[in-house]
């Protein structure tokens, strides 16, 4: 049984973050469960190794105590995602956070074009982060500029797509699996993929399944983690 001292010395917790939770909410839930159930000090260290958007589910790695020093190392590892692109429309946020702002024809799109287009995204690519993201520009987060209706010039950045596989085609939906480097925005990949198809696309489903060798298959739900702490009392 893991005790308070173990968490202070350092633990890596694999959490399956629920849909509509922020990463901060998930970490806070764990933190206060550990404080209340195991008597850990309120200022004990805990943090996650890579944010997941509220509209994404899946693997959130949480480090406690001395293992918070490993966060940067874990964050730098390749990540695997599965999800769904909706073809033929775009949104300002590139996902379901905002309403559709454009519609496009998909009559010219077939399986052959989709698989050929995938090849354009394998390897190192230039990617522009979404305007609805937490990256700072002039000291202000991009999503704050976006919500204020301000136009901001966003620089592209290099990112690497190691694997990109289409797992289901049922237009307007396309399911995918992607393995990518740190800093890759799957929302931007959706937008760029739609553009490369001479259409539009937005991300409608996203799940992070792996970070390095860590898999969501070995993760526990936040509420289950709390229940297990109660059983260990």
Catalytic residues: 53
Q: Distance between CA 169 and CA 223 in Å, rounded?
A: 34
Q: What does DSSP say about strands 201-211 and 214-215: parallel, antiparallel, or unpaired?
A: antiparallel
Are 129 and 157 spatial neighbours (Cβ–Cβ below 8 Å)? yes
3-state DSSP assignment of residue 11: strand
Phi, psi of 31 (to 5 degrees): -60, -50
| Strand spans (E) along the chain | 11-17, 46-48, 56-64, 79-87, 89-90, 102-103, 123-127, 136-137, 140-141, 157-170, 173-180, 201-211, 214-215
3-state DSSP assignment of residue 44: coil
- Residue 156 exposure: Cα atoms within 13 Å on the Cβ side: 9
Residue 21, CA distances (Å) to 16, 183, 222, 226 in order: 11, 21, 10, 16
């Amino acid at each position: 049984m893991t005790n308070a001292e173990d968490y202070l010395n350092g633990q890596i917790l694999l959490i399956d973050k629920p849909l509509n939770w922020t990463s901060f909410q998930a970490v806070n839930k764990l933190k206060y469960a550990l404080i209340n159930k195991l008597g850990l000090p309120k200022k004990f260290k805990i943090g996650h190794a890579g944010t997941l958007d509220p509209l994404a589910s899946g693997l959130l790695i949480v480090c406690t105590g001395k293992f918070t020093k490993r966060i940067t190392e874990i964050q730098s590892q390749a990540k695997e995602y599965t999800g769904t692109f909706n073809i033929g429309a775009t949104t300002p946020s590139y996902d379901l956070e905002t309403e559709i702002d454009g519609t496009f024809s998909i009559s010219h799109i077939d399986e052959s074009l989709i698989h050929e287009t995938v090849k354009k995204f394998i390897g190192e690519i230039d990617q522009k982060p979404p305007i609805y993201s937490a990256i700072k520009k002039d000291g202000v987060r991009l999503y704050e500029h976006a919500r204020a209706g301000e136009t901001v010039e966003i620089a592209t950045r290099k990112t690497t797509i190691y694997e990109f596989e289409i797992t289901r085609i049922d237009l307007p939906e396309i399911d995918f699996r992607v393995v990518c480097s740190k800093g890759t925005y799957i929302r931007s990949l959706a937008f760029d993929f739609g553009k490369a198809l001479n259409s539009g696309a937005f991300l409608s489903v996203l799940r992070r399944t792996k970070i390095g060798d860590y898999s969501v298959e070995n993760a526990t739900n936040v509420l289950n983690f709390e229940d297990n702490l109660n059983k260990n009392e």
